[in-house]
Structure 1
Amino acid sequence: MNVTIDQKGDSKVAIVKSSEILLGDVQSALDLMAVLRYDHECHKIIVHQSNVAEDFFDLKTRLAGDILQKFTNYGVQIALVGDFEAYNSKSLRDFIYECNQGRQVFFLKDEEAALQALHRSGGQ
Structure 2
Amino acid sequence: MSTVQQIHDVPVLICPAEGETIGCANDVLDLIGDAMYQDARWVVIPAGRFDEGFFRLRTRIAGEIIQKFVNYRVGIAVIGDISRHTEDSSALRDFVRECNRGRQTWFLADTEEFHERLKG
Q: TM-score, normalization: structure 1?
A: 0.86
Identity of aligned residues (%): 38
Aligned to 1:94: 94
Aligned to 2:74: 76
- CA distance change for structure 1 residues 75 and 41 in 2, over 3 Å: closer, same or farther? same
The residue matched to 2:15 in structure 1 has which SS? strand
Q: Which runs of 4+ in 1 moved over 4 A?
A: none
The residue matched to 2:2 in structure 1 has which SS? strand
Aligned to 2:6: 7
Q: How far apart, in 2, do the equivalents of 1:77 and 1:8 lie?
A: 14
CA contact (8 A) 2:21 2:50 kept: yes
CA contact (8 A) 1:13 1:115 kept: no
Q: What 5-or-longer segments of structure 1 have no aligned partner?
A: none
Number of residue-to-residue matches in the alignment: 118
Q: What 5-or-longer segments of structure 2 have no aligned partner?
A: none
- CA distance change for structure 1 residues 72 and 54 in 2, over 3 Å: closer, same or farther? same
Which deviates further from its counterpart, 87-96 or 2-11?
Answer: 2-11
CA contact (8 A) 1:33 1:76 kept: yes
The residue matched to 2:68 in structure 1 has which SS? helix
Q: How far apart, in 2, do the equivalents of 1:106 and 1:91 lie?
A: 16
The residue matched to 1:98 in structure 2 has which SS? helix
Of the three residues 35, 39, 42, the one matched with 1:41 is: 39
Q: TM-score, normalization: structure 2?
A: 0.89
